C-alpha cells in the first residue's frame, strides 16, 4: 500500500488497496486511513454493486436517499446522472450531505461510472481545520449555539435534473437543529458543522445577526487552503467522512462552453450519529 497526500488540509489517494476483497481484518486499516485523512481515494476499482454494498456495510447501516429513487435491485445505491445537455450538477455548492437529518450520514462512498474528458472534479474541505482557524470573536459567539438545517425540498434533488427520479417524497421538507460545533464521535475533535446549502439560521440570536454571521462563516469555510481537489477517472472510489468535511461537485463541463458531457456516479451513505 502506498499513500499519496493530496493537500496539507485533507485527502489521500491510496494505491495498491483493493476495496472488493476487503475483510473485517483490513477494514480497521481503511477506517484509520479515513479518520486520519478525512477523504480517501482509490482508482481502478472493479467493484460490483454487491461489493459496494458490502464495503458500505462494514462502516454501518447503508441508508436510502431521502428524495431519490435508488437502483432497481439496490435501493440504497443512488445513481447521480448529469446529462450531457444539462448545466446543473447534483452536489454543486458546498455542503455536507443531508445535514438536515436528525442523524446525518457519517460516511459517503462515491464511485465514478462515467467521467467527462475535462472537468467534473470534486473539491473536499476540512471542517476541523475550519473550526481551528475561525476568527476568535465568531468562535466565542457560536461555540455553544445550535443552527437550523433544512433540506431544500425534492425540487433541489430531483426536478432540476432530467435523469434523477423521485422516490415519491415530492413536496416533503425535512429540518433539524444541530450544535454548530459538533464533536467527532470517534476522534473527539471539534468540527464546524454548518454549511451554505442546508444551514438556514443560528438559533437564539436575531435573524439579521444570524444572516451576517453565517455569511462570514460560509466565506471562511470556502477558503481554498482548507481543501483538496480530486480529478476523477472511471472506476475510482472516494470514501469521505461526512461528519468533518464538506464537498463541492464542480460543474465546469456544461454545454454553454461547448463542453456538453455526461457524468455518472454511484453513491451510498452510511447512517450516522446525532451530532453532539
Q: Which three cell numbers stand for residue 1?
A: 500500500
Q: What is the DSSP letter of 120?
A: -
Counting Cα atoms < 13 Å in the Cβ hemisphere of 55 gives 27
* Residue 249 interacts with ligand SIN (CB under 6 A): yes or no: yes
243 vs 267, which CB is nearer to ligand SIN?
267
User: 12 pairs with which residues across the strands?
Assistant: 5, 40
Instruction: Please give the residues from 51 up to 110 whose contact with ligand SIN meets the rule CB under 6 A.
Output: 80, 90-91, 97, 110
How many residues sit close enough to ligand SIN to count as binding (CB under 6 A)? 10
In whole angstroms, how close is the CB of 225 to ligand SIN at the nearest point? Answer: 21
The closest alpha carbon to 67, from 198, 213, 237, 199, belongs to 198
Determine if 265 is a binding residue for ligand SIN (CB under 6 A).
Answer: yes
Cα-based torsion angle of the residue sequence 146, 190, 28, 8 in order, rounded to the nearest 10 degrees = 120
Q: Would you count residue 122 as binding ligand SIN (CB under 6 A)?
A: yes
Q: Does 116 bind ligand SIN (CB under 6 A)?
A: no
CA distance 87 to 163: 13
Could you tell me whether strands 12-15 and 39-42 are parallel, antiparallel, or unpaired per DSSP bridges?
parallel
Q: Is 127 helix (H, G, I), strand (E, B) or coil?
A: helix
Q: Smallest gap, in angstroms, from Cβ of residue 210 to ligand SIN?
A: 25
Residue nearest to ligand SIN (CB): 91
Residue 30 found at the interface with ligand SIN (CB under 6 A):
no
Exactly one of 106, 111, 146, 267 binds ligand SIN (CB under 6 A); that residue is 267
- For CA atoms 185, 10, 139, 212, the dihedral sign is negative
CB nearer to ligand SIN: give 160 or 187: 160
- Decide if residue 119 touches ligand SIN (CB under 6 A): no
Which residues of the shown chain bind ligand SIN in the complex (CB under 6 A)? 80, 90-91, 97, 110, 122, 247, 249, 265, 267
Amino acid at each position: 500500500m502506498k499513500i499519496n497526500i493530496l493537500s496539507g488540509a485533507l485527502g489521500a489517494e491510496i494505491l495498491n488497496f483493493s476495496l472488493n476483497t476487503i475483510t473485517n481484518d483490513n477494514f480497521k486499516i481503511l477506517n484509520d486511513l479515513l479518520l486520519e485523512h478525512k477523504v480517501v481515494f482509490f482508482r481502478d476499482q472493479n467493484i460490483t454493486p454487491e461489493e459496494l454494498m458490502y464495503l458500505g456495510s462494514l462502516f454501518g447501516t447503508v441508508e436510502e436517499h431521502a428524495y431519490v429513487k435508488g437502483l432497481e435491485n439496490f435501493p440504497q445505491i443512488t445513481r447521480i446522472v448529469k446529462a450531457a445537455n444539462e448545466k446543473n450538477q447534483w452536489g454543486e455548492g458546498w455542503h455536507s450531505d443531508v445535514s438536515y437529518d436528525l442523524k446525518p450520514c457519517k460516511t459517503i462512498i462515491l464511485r465514478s461510472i462515467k467521467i467527462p474528458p475535462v472537468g467534473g472534479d470534486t473539491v473536499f474541505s476540512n471542517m476541523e481545520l475550519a473550526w481551528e482557524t475561525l476568527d476568535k470573536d465568531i468562535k466565542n459567539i457560536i461555540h455553544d449555539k445550535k443552527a437550523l438545517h433544512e433540506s431544500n425540498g425534492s425540487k433541489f434533488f430531483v426536478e432540476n435534473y432530467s435523469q434523477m427520479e423521485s422516490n415519491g417524497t415530492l413536496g416533503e421538507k425535512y429540518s433539524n437543529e444541530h450544535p454548530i460545533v459538533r464533536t467527532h464521535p470517534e476522534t473527539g475533535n471539534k468540527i464546524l458543522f454548518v454549511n451554505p446549502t442546508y444551514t438556514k439560521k443560528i438559533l437564539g440570536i436575531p435573524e439579521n445577526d444570524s444572516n451576517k454571521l453565517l455569511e462570514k462563516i460560509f466565506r471562511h469555510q470556502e477558503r481554498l487552503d482548507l481543501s483538496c481537489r480530486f480529478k476523477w477517472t472511471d472506476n475510482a472510489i472516494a470514501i469521505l467522512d461526512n461528519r468533518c468535511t464538506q464537498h463541492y461537485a464542480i460543474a465546469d463541463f456544461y454545454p454553454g462552453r461547448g463542453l456538453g458531457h455526461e457524468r455518472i456516479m454511484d453513491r451510498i451513505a452510511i447512517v450516522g450519529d446525532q451530532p453532539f
